[in-house]
Amino acid sequence: MKWLAGVAALTTASVLATPAPPAAQQTRHARSSTAAKSQPAIPWQSCGAGSALRLSGLRRSQGALLPLEVKSDSPLNDLKGEAANRALSFWPSATSANAPASAPHIYQSLIGIDLDQKPGSYDLSVEATQTAGGSPLACQAKFEVTDGHYKVERLNVAPKFVEPTPEDLKLAQDQTARLRAIFATVTPEKLWQGKFRMPIQGATSFKNFGTRRVLNGEPSSPHTGVDVGAVRGTPIHATQRGRVVLAEPLYFSGNTVVLDHGLGIYTLYGHMESMPVKVGDTVEAGQIIGKVGSTGRVTGPHLHWGLSISGARVNALDLLNLR
Ligand SMILES: [Zn+2]
């Protein structure tokens, strides 16, 4: 069952038998979003020299986004950070641009908590220098990662249905390695602006994020995207402005488009029937980048929608809650 290691490694794996709708998962997502909104505001924590840091929450589950802000009396240079051993990218808040000169400068960032991040307490560190006087600032905080309680499916199927040929296995592994290299690359430019949007208009069915499959007793990869239900041929819109960095058929996810939104944020769209974009294209938010299909290893048409932030595999639906 060596090939399972290949499946386990595949970032976009969207494998084999599609299970019954895990309604609980959708509820979990909706609940966590609501809970996040109703939590009391986390206080600002001083970083010295007229600056401060604020997390949007003190805990998040595996596979979730944790936004944070840094404010400062004067503009910051070389603002960087690290959370759970992943580098953070910052950008100036849009509201900051229209604020009066006396208002603090606000910078935003996103911590992507990988689907496989072990539950526990993690460190966040931020550092920068201020342009006025060049004084350095630094601060640390802690946040907690909780268990995502994702569904585990145990399937027993005839090996011939789950074992790809050695050629297919090699192909899938090579594609995995390429995707990892793409997701590990941070484009320093922020290509998006404003809110992220749902790629399928009016979508109501969101399944399988984080689901783990155990095939014939062998654990395989978690399902790293959210499967958005839609009929064949439904237009798929870019969730935000970005650059096309991959547009080709892949073994597991079929016709696949990956958009680089800059600052380490990538979205992936899989199983497309068609994809009228090519590598190097810049697409605008909402632009049609493909149509729903069932290419790759699937049992029926849907959009596999993935999100990677600094290489962390995160639920793309969390993008829609960002302000
Ligand atoms: Zn999928």
Q: How far is the CA of 86 from the centre of ligand 1 (A)?
A: 25
Q: Residue 135 has what pLDDT?
A: 84
Distance 231 CA to ligand 1 centre (A): 15
Query: Does one domain contain both 162 and 232?
Result: yes
pLDDT of amino acid 96: 66
Residue-level pLDDT at 175? 96
CA 90 to ligand 1 centroid distance, Å: 30
Could you tell me if 10 and 155 lie in one domain?
A: yes
DSSP string of 250-298, one letter each residue = ETTTEEEEEEEEETTEEEEEEEEEE----TT-EE-TT-EEEEEB--SS-
What domain range is 93 assigned to?
39-146
Beta strand pairing status for 86-88 and 51-55? unpaired
Q: In whole angstroms, what is the distance from residue 19 CA to residue 17 CA?
A: 6
Q: Are residues 254 and 295 in the same domain?
A: yes
276 and 226 in a common domain:
yes
Tokens 């603090």 locate to 104
Distance CA 298, CA 272 (A): 11
Domain shared by 252 and 295, yes or no? yes
What is the pTM (predicted TM-score) of this model? 0.86
Give the distance (Å) from ligand 1 centre to CA of residue 300: 11
Helix (H, G, I), strand (E, B) or coil at 101: coil
Domain boundary among 99, 119, 146: 146
* 305 in the same domain as 194: yes
Between the CA of 223 and the centroid of ligand 1 the distance, in Å, is 6
Query: How far, in Å, CA of 293 to CA of 281, rounded?
Result: 22
Q: How far apart are CA 112 and CA 309, in angstroms?
A: 5
How many Cα atoms are found within 13 Å in the side-chain-facing hemisphere of 292?
Answer: 20
CA of 210 to the centre of ligand 1 (A): 10
Distance 293 CA to ligand 1 centre (A): 12
Domain count, the chain: 2
Question: Are both 158 and 234 inside the same structural domain?
Answer: yes
Could you tell me the distance, in angstroms and rounded to a whole number, from the CA of residue 228 to the centre of ligand 1? Answer: 8
How many Å lie between the centroid of ligand 1 and the Cα of residue 225?
5
- Select from 264, 320, 304 the least CA-distant residue to 111: 264
Distance between CA atoms of 210 and 164, rounded to whole angstroms?
A: 23
User: Which region, left, alpha or beta, applies to residue 262 given φ > 0 means left and ψ of -120 to 50 means alpha?
Assistant: left
pLDDT in tens, the chain (323 residues): 333 333 333 333 333 333 333 333 443 443 344 344 456 678 999 998 889 999 999 999 999 999 999 999 989 999 999 999 999 999 999 876 677 777 899 999 999 999 999 999 999 999 999 887 788 999 999 999 999 999 998 988 777 667 778 899 899 999 999 999 999 999 999 999 999 999 999 999 999 999 998 888 888 889 999 999 999 999 999 999 999 999 999 999 999 999 999 999 999 999 999 999 999 999 999 999 999 999 998 889 999 999 999 999 999 999 998 87
Contact 90, 107 (CB under 8 A): yes
Question: Are residues 271 and 293 in contact, defined by beta-carbon separation less than 8 angstroms?
Answer: yes
**At residue 21, what is the residue type?**
P
**Residue 107, Cβ neighbours under 10 Å: how many?**
23
173 plus 315 within the same structural domain: yes
> What separation in Å is there between the alpha carbon of 208 and the centre of ligand 1?
7
**CATH classification at residue 226:** 2.70.70.10
Cα of 89 vs centre of ligand 1, distance in Å, is 27
Nearest to 202 by CA among 174, 177, 230, 227: 230
CB contact at 8 A, 277 and 247: yes
Ligand 1 centroid to Cα of residue 269, in Å, is 9
CB 223 within 8 A of CB 209: yes
Tell me, yes or no, whether 182 and 279 share the same domain.
Answer: yes
Residues 58 and 179 both lie in one domain: no
203 Cα to the center of ligand 1, angstroms: 15
163 and 295 co-located in one domain:
yes
Q: Domain holding 110: CATH number?
A: 2.60.40.1930
Domain boundary among 146, 178, 213: 146
In this structure, are 126 and 164 located in the same domain? no
In this prediction, residue 174 carries a pLDDT of 96
CB 228 within 8 A of CB 199: yes
Q: Which two tokens stand for residue 241?
A: 């402005």
Q: Which of 98, 124, 146 is the last residue in one of the domains?
A: 146
